[in-house]
Chain A
Amino acid sequence: MGCTFNKLTFLTTIALAATVPFNMGGCADTASQFGGAIGGQQGAVIGRSLGGAGEAASLSQKDEQAMGESVAAAVTTQYPVVKDAKLNQYVALVGLTLANASKRPDGNWLFAVVDSNEVNAFSGPDGYIMITRGALKEMRDEAELAGVLAHEISHVLDEHGLKAAKQAGITSSLANLSNLDQRSNAFGELASGLADTVLNKGYGRQQEDEADADAVKLMISTGYDPNSYLHFIERIAKSQGSARGASVLMKTHPGAAERADKIRKRISELAPAKQGAVLRERFAKMTAGK
């Protein structure tokens, strides 16, 4: 969700990083979907300060790495990493299993569980992926966890944040600014905007759909059952429709039911027969009492 279910949300994300030169789907109108962080006037201001739109250069990789670190710092300042080495290792192992099957296994993939009761997950440029303790509590098996992590990994690989930044007018490399103060200020504005998107606003529907579609593909290529991801999204959809969900989801993304329909269709296209690891028992063992 990268997204956008604030509060009972699930998956807020920004994935500016990914320097991967491939895209798994169209995302041409990212800006139109990206009403958050760096869109609008703020984005225009940043764009001008960085040299204005129209230049084709992209952010340098160092800038993207710094952006990922900054988003991760913002998320973990608000939601500290849980002090549970075994749980963090377990989530990281699931994440690395997926990363290993991705197009970018040599990336800087980092995972952690953060202390929040919200059902949410976050991703930042350069492979920083964080999932809340509350999200783990809503899950029933390892493949559900893999689905959420695959969704976040897909945001990174699909360069959603970077595309949004470009659409906001930030098409010139920060390196083009020779004045360090100017550069630092411009970077700060951009990082704050992205962090706000990750923590509060979320992505647009098109990015969510794209990350869902790619998550299903990644789960299959890894060997996890994508139906578990569908089940999790379906439960989120039901929760959104319930009195409990409605009270919590005033600002949240309303589209879980529609997303579930698309995920179901995607699974039927790619893996009509049920297959893949589910690992309910291992998940229960590793998350018991957490």
Chain B
Amino acid sequence: MSSKTATIPADLLAEFEAAAKRPLAQRWKYAFIKTYKPVMDDEKFRAFDSMADYRRWCEENLPRFLGYHRSEE
């Protein structure tokens, strides 16, 4: 490990270096997955006047396990 990369955890560094060797199309293919998200995927179109409105809607309507709620950390 060089001094430049010393602050990066070794497992992450290995992942970043491996990814850098893959062509973009392959990285994209590995990256995108699709699973059904309850509520979120039940409408074809939503528009919100503000990000605050969108965040509020997520908090009030989406199941917590989807991860769209504000972190309490």
Partners in one complex: no
